[in-house]
Amino acid sequence: MDERLSKTIEDRTEELAALAADLIRFPTVNPPGDAYRPCAEFIGERLRKRGFGVEYIRAEGAPGDSDRYPRVNVVARFDGRSRGSAVHFNSHIDVVEAGEGWTMDPFAGLIRDGRVYGRGACDMKGGLAASIIAVESFMDVYPDFPGAIEISGTVDEESGGFGGVAHLAKQGYFSRPKVDHVIIPEPLNKDRICLGHRGVWWAEIETRGEMAHGSMPFLGDCAVRHMGAVIRAFEDELYPALDQKRTRMPVVPEGARRSTMNINAIHGGQTDDYSGLPSPNVPDSCRMVIDRRFLLEETLAEVKDEIVTLLDRLKGSRSKFDYSIRDIMEVLPLMTERDAPVAEAVAQGIREVFGREPEYVISPGTYDQKHVTRIGHLHDCIAYGPGILDLAHRPDEWVGVADMVESAKVMAVGLGRLLGASGR
Ligand SMILES: [Zn+2]
């Protein structure tokens, strides 16, 4: 890789670690969506000083938005000296709650032994910091670059991205001609390119029964027992069938390279809050939330039909069985092709920095790429960033300083190729 660019980034190693630590010190915990505004303003003010045009976009009326917890996003743009394509680095600024088990303050931004610790270090304030340093270094070395560079800090990714990337995408922030290429620095490891994710269908299944006194259950009809029959059918038929559905998508970890379904929640009968005395009722309703992850090889209609067919068969075979099903969330699977410009540019960065071919992966769960592609209709989008995926959302989360530096180099090389400005 270009020596000057490489050295410029290396010289800013301490600054990069400090920037990640500064970002961690904003406790942008979601829910409820704390400290979004000061964190967005911290990013925006830094980039404004570098000459970026900065916009703050609050997603008014989005889920969770209130005056106490405003959904404030920041989008910064720098137009080069001549026309060209626009490259956008998008990071979410929200983090999940700290949870138990920390051996340090999760929001202190501790830097120790070549690592930056804290909630969000890896997912994904380390990636955000790396992209900022990559962009600033690139601009120092190539001040006359053509095209435009954008950096955004967006909210609510951990809760679906509705007040963040989805909101911005609806307003054209992730569409041509404003933007051509998008890199999302999620923690997928510094030598891997994430091309997309599996699909998701969340649904609630309800079985119904009839109330009666618990001492005479035969007078009623127990909705929980009906749900038991649903689970038995899942175990006997559905799960073995899902296990057989393999995909050409390179999903990591390997165990997710097929269809899966989790039962997120199940509830029947009286409330789980036993502060009062339990009462002896036959439950007339039982509800289950399923989380089905599906593949490019499956359509959403097939995925739904598989479940509905099973439930309809129970309706035919089991006395008094009745059910309803309600969609909660649907996300189609996505896979950007390896020869898409953004994937090729970042792959070249990995070759130049690490001297080897990138690994191409697909995320088992979704992230904001879905909104860029589905709402923004922009298909040239990947995730690439430092940090070890397995550390995300865990206690003592950290990101390696050297990993951030190396991935900043990869991003800078990719940026140069996409803008056609790296003097090749
Ligand atoms: Zn993330």
Q: What is the pLDDT of residues 193-224, one digit of tens each?
A: 999 999 999 999 999 999 999 999 999 999 99
CA 95 to ligand 1 center in whole angstroms: 8
CA 67 to ligand 1 center in whole angstroms: 25
CA 392 to ligand 1 center in whole angstroms: 8
CA 187 to ligand 1 center in whole angstroms: 7
Q: Which amino acid is at 141?
A: V
CA 314 to ligand 1 center in whole angstroms: 40
CA 96 to ligand 1 center in whole angstroms: 9
DSSP letters, 335-375, are E--TTSHHHHHHHHHHHHHHSSPPEEEEESS--THHHHHHT
CA 280 to ligand 1 center in whole angstroms: 45
CB atoms within 10 A of CB 340: 17
CA 317 to ligand 1 center in whole angstroms: 45
Helix (H) or strand (E) holding 90: strand 82-92
Tokens of 242: 């899902």
3-197+333-419: CATH topology: Aminopeptidase (3.40.630)
Overall average pLDDT of the 274-286 stretch:
84
pLDDT of residue 423: 42
CA 277 to ligand 1 center in whole angstroms: 43
CA 93 to ligand 1 center in whole angstroms: 9
pTM for this structure? Answer: 0.90
Same fold, 3-197+333-419 and 199-331: no
Share of the chain above pLDDT 70, in %: 98
Q: Is residue 422 over pLDDT 80?
A: no
Overall average pLDDT of the 343-367 stretch:
96
CA 368 to ligand 1 center in whole angstroms: 9
Q: Is residue 390 over pLDDT 80?
A: yes
> In what order do the strands lie in the sheet containing 111-112?
111-112, 115-117, 398-400
Q: Is residue 274 over pLDDT 80?
A: no
Q: Is residue 273 over pLDDT 80?
A: no
- Are 107 and 119 a contacting pair, CB within 8 Å? yes
CA 312 to ligand 1 center in whole angstroms: 38
How confident is the prediction for the chain on average, in pLDDT? 96
CA 367 to ligand 1 center in whole angstroms: 7
CA 183 to ligand 1 center in whole angstroms: 13
Q: Which residues surround ligand 1, an ion (CB under 5 A)?
A: 123-124, 186
- Are 126 and 116 a contacting pair, CB within 8 Å? yes
CA 180 to ligand 1 center in whole angstroms: 22
The residue extents of the domains of the chain are 3-197+333-419, 199-331
Per this entry, what is the length of the chain? 424
CA 184 to ligand 1 center in whole angstroms: 9
Overall average pLDDT of the 126-137 stretch:
98
Pick the CATH number of 199-331 from 3.30.70.330, 3.20.20.70, 1.10.760.10, 3.30.70.360: 3.30.70.360
- Are 414 and 183 a contacting pair, CB within 8 Å? yes
SS3 of 410-421: the string is HHHHHHHHHHCC
pLDDT of residue 417: 97
- Give 80-96 pLDDT, tens digit per residue: 999 999 999 999 999 99
Using pLDDT thresholds of 50, 70 and 90, give the confidence band for residue 389. confident
pLDDT of residue 421: 62
How far is residue 312's CA from residue 319's CA, in Å, rounded to a whole number? 12
Using pLDDT thresholds of 50, 70 and 90, give the confidence band for residue 424. very low
pLDDT of residue 100: 95
How far is residue 198's CA from residue 333's CA, in Å, rounded to a whole number? 4
Q: At what angle do helices 3-10 and 401-419 cross, to 10 degrees?
A: 140
Q: At what angle do helices 36-49 and 13-24 cross, to 10 degrees?
A: 150
